[in-house]
A and B are shown apart, each in its own frame.
Chain A
């Protein structure tokens, strides 16, 4: 069974600074996807970034990038130039290549952004 672990229950960052959220996972599958989802106070789940395991290049979406270390089963999220609107709960998630959307989520990290 897959497991996803987020070891940082809470993180904080100053506006305009950079912060990194950690995530490790365990899987026996060779083909899989990894995700970071953002959940603001509105409760809506918003996809931040997606990484295919077969791609060695780290995914990037504007100020958001990942450090994907496949051998170490690590998938951290870096937020650059942090903004007040980045304050939210962040979830790391894993899906097997044939799971068709059946995700395993981590426990979440609450990110606070200080002005």
Chain B
């Protein structure tokens, strides 16, 4: 079955360190997204990509970057982690026709 895999599922890091969250999908979807989930805010869009070499900023993109070198992967990088980036991060891909999102299991990041 097609799926989206995120790694690591849990990570603790220190302020100022670089962190990369991996996302791999086997749906063969062109569209991929990174969201963060915080209490009281729901899910907010960080970055998204509509295909290889395409990346776009979302609502809360400051301090984050992504790259898309193939269809399957969209890694999310925190260049210099901050405590405000403690959150649960979800990667998702979408069906082109319906806009429905298919989610990974989420990655909980704690920045101390």
Chain A positions near chain B (C-beta within 8 angstroms): 4, 6, 33, 35, 43-45, 47, 50, 91, 93, 95, 97, 99-108
Query: Smallest distance from the beta carbon of B36 to chain A beta carbons, Å?
Result: 11
Residues of chain A contacted by B95 (CB below 8 angstroms): 101
B interface residues, tally (CB under 8 Å): 26
How many angstroms from the CA of A100 to the CA of B49 in the assembled complex? 10
Are A108 and B42 also in contact (CB < 8 A) when A100-B31, A102-B33 are? yes
Which of B40, B42, B58 contacts A91, CB < 8 Å?
B42
**Contact, CB under 8 Å: B41 / A43:** no
Q: For residue A107, which residue of chain B has the nearest CB? A: B42
CA distance A93 to B45 in the complex (A): 12
B34 CB to closest chain A CB, in angstroms? 11
CB pair A105–B42 under 8 Å, yes or no, is: yes
A104 to B41, CA, bound (A): 11
Contact A100 B100 (CB under 8 A): no
* Closest residue on chain A to residue B101 by CB atoms: A101
Neighbouring B residues of A97 by C-beta, 8 Å: 99
Stretch at the interface among B14-22, B60-68, B72-80, B85-93: B85-93
Return 17 A-B CB contacts under 8 Å, by A number: A43-B105, A45-B90, A45-B103, A45-B106, A47-B101, A91-B43, A97-B99, A100-B31, A101-B48, A101-B93, A101-B94, A101-B99, A101-B100, A102-B33, A102-B48, A103-B43, A103-B45
